[in-house]
Structure formats: C-alpha cells, structure tokens
Amino acid sequence: MKNKNSIYKIVTVGLLGALVFVSNYLSFPIPVPVGDISRIHLGNAFCLLAGFVMGPIGGGLASGIGAMLYDLTNPAYIASAPFTFVFKFLLAAVCGLIAHKGKITGNMLEEDFTITVPRSIVAGICGSLTYIVLYLAKSYITTVLAGSAPEAAAIALATKAASSTVNAILAIIISVPLSALIRKALKSAHLTTK
C-alpha cells in the first residue's frame, strides 16, 4: 500500500505542476510603466489548489516547478525563474500548512482531511499574501537596481499590486470550491487511505 501511495503522490504532484504550468498561459497582460510586465492569470489558483491537495511540501513542489517551467519557456520571465520557484513554492506551502493544520507532509491522499470553508479561505489568503509581499519586494528592488528612481518604482509597484490582488482574489474564488470537489472525488474513487 505504501508504494501505491507514493505513486499517487508523485503522479499528483506532476499533474498539479502541469496544471500550474498550463494555467499560466491563460492570462491578460497589464502594462507597467517601469520594469517588467504584469498580468492577470489563473496560475495562482492552481498553486493554491496544489497546497490544498498535496499539503505544504508536495503542493509547494508542484507550484514551484510548474510556475518555474512557465517562466523558462517565456523570454520575458526567464531571469525570474529561480525567484518564481521559491515564491510559488511558498505560496502553496503556506496555504497547505494552514489547510492541513500544521502537518508538513499532510495531503488529501493519506489523511482523513477535513477543512472548513473559513479555514480554506484563510489558508488561501495567507498563501496569496505571502506571494504578493515577496513578489512586490523583489519587483521594487530589481526596478531600483536597474536604475529607476524609487518614486518611479513605487508607481510601477502600484500597478503590480493591483494585478496581484486581482490574481489572489481569483485564485481563492477558484481554488477553495475546487479543492472541496477534488476531495469528494478522491473519497468516492477510494483513492484516500481512510
């Protein structure tokens, strides 16, 4: 049974990573006056979903790998790929840690996972806020290091903050009910161990 669960975990992390990768292509670019580009996309919804389904470690790996691979296939984001891996890993890890009540290895496949809607929302908000803070701090620092005035960097940051907030809201609205549906499907397919 242990090997069967390991295979399910590996496949689930790979599947969620692929969903994160593909969902990043579903986006709308937002012009930013200084620095790189920003966009509204569905990638963060699947990063949160990975945290809900696979917990902090598996969800973090799926999110980080899927988002980093997207960056590596897009010339506009290649330089940000290492940061993306860390930031998206932490987005899902924080969400998963809260959703799974502090269990580092918690995931929907191995435990009698129950979560209330308020806890899901809090997990999604905390994961999203973690990402937003990291992303905005990195954006500000890189814009200033590239030679922009701090005031110009702050103006560009306002646009990125707005698009990041919209991404966070969309991610929570999509991932919270979707994670509940996935848990129900896993139980009815007898893919959980309890």
pLDDT in tens, 74-131: 998 999 999 999 999 999 999 999 999 888 877 777 657 778 899 999 999 999 999 9
Within a domain: residue 70? yes
Residue 76 has phi, psi (to 5 degrees) of -70, -20
Within a domain: residue 30? no
The closest of 135, 146, 118 to 39, measured between CA atoms, is 135
Taking the C-alpha atoms of residue 153 and residue 165, their distance in angstroms, rounded to an integer, is: 18
Within a domain: residue 29? no
Residue 148 has phi, psi (to 5 degrees) of -75, 150
pLDDT in tens, 147-185: 888 888 888 888 889 989 999 999 999 999 999 998 888
As for how many domains the chain has, the answer is 1
Within a domain: residue 51? yes
The answer to whether 108 and 182 have CB atoms below 8 angstroms apart is yes
Q: Which of 34-38, 51-55, 105-109, 176-180 has the lowest mean pLDDT?
A: 34-38
Q: Say what the pLDDT of residue 35 is.
A: 57
Question: Which token pair is 54?
Answer: 């696979």
Within a domain: residue 92? yes
Average confidence (pLDDT) over 5-18 = 90
- What is the percent of the chain with per-residue pLDDT over 90, rounded to a whole number? 61
Within a domain: residue 172? yes
Question: Which token pair is 157?
Answer: 């940051």
Collapsed DSSP state (helix, strand, coil) of residue 190: coil
Predicted TM-score (pTM) above 0.85: yes
Q: Say what the pLDDT of residue 32 is.
A: 66
The distance of Cα 190 from the centroid of its chain, to the nearest Å, equals: 27
Within a domain: residue 33? no
Supply the range of the domain harboring residue 170. Answer: 2-24+38-188
Q: What is the CATH number of the domain that holds 142?
A: 1.10.1760.20
Within a domain: residue 193? no
